[in-house]
């Protein structure tokens, strides 16, 4: 997957959790949890859905790397 695929995947997953938000307008460096009103359950569902969609296990210790859009894209690109 290239960066744009990853970005679209993230947006698609977010649309199932916080459909009222428009993450495409977000700066890449802001905390998604605050910007999109995600509580801890929402964030957990976000990471679980991502890991299912790309069939990669995301260990809990790496969760903080996914707090921002840029962080999540960089992490998933690896």
Partner 1 sequence: MQAEKTRATLLKKPLSAAGRTPNLLDYKAECARFDWRKAWALLDGLPGGQGYNIAHEAVDRHAAGPRAERVAIRWLGKAGERQDITYRGLSEAANRFANALYTLGVKPGERVFILMGRLPEFHAAVLGALKARCVVSPLFSAFGPEPIATRIGMGDGRVLVTTADLYRRKVEGVRPKLPGLVHVIVVGGDAPEGAGLYAWDELVEHASASFTIAPTDLEEMALLHFTSGTTGRPKGAIHVHGAVAAHHVTGLYALDLHDDDIFWCTADPGWVTGMSYGIIAPLTNGVTSIVVEAEFDAATWYSVMARERVSVWYTAPTAIRMMMRLGAAAVKDYDLSALRFLASVGEPLNPEAVVWGMEAFGLPFHDNWWQTETGGIMIANFAALPIKPGSMGLPLPGIEAAIVRRRNDGGVDVVDEPLIEGELALKKGWPSMMRGYLNEDERYRKCFSGDWYLTGDLAKRDADGYFWFVGRSDDVIKSAGHLIGPFEVESALMEHPAVAEAAVIGKPDLMVGEVVKAFVELKPGYEPNDDLRKELLGHARKRLGPAVAPKEIDFRANLPKTRSGKIMRRLLKARELGLPEGDISTLESDEK
* 27 near partner 1, judged by CB under 8 A: no
Query: How far apart are alpha carbons 36 and 62 in whole angstroms?
Result: 20
Instruction: Tell me: does residue 48 bind partner 1 (CB under 8 A).
Output: no
Q: Which of 23, 30, 33, 74 touches partner 1 by CB under 8 A?
A: 33
Cβ-based nearer residue to partner 1, 66 or 76: 66
Contact 26, 35 (CB under 8 A): yes
How would you classify residue 37: left for phi > 0, otherwise alpha for psi between -120 and 50, otherwise beta? left
DSSP 27: -
Task: Return residues touching partner 1 (CB under 8 A).
Answer: 15-16, 18-21, 31, 33-34, 37-42, 44-45, 60-61, 63-64, 67
């Amino acid at each position: 997957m290239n960066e744009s695929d990853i970005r679209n995947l993230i947006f698609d997953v977010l649309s199932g959790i916080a459909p009222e938000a428009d993450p495409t307008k977000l700066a890449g460096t802001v905390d998604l949890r605050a910007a999109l009103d995600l509580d801890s359950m929402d964030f957990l569902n976000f990471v679980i859905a991502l890991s299912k969609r790309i069939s990669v296990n995301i260990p809990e210790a790496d969760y903080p790397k996914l707090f921002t859009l840029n962080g999540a894209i960089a992490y998933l690109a690896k």
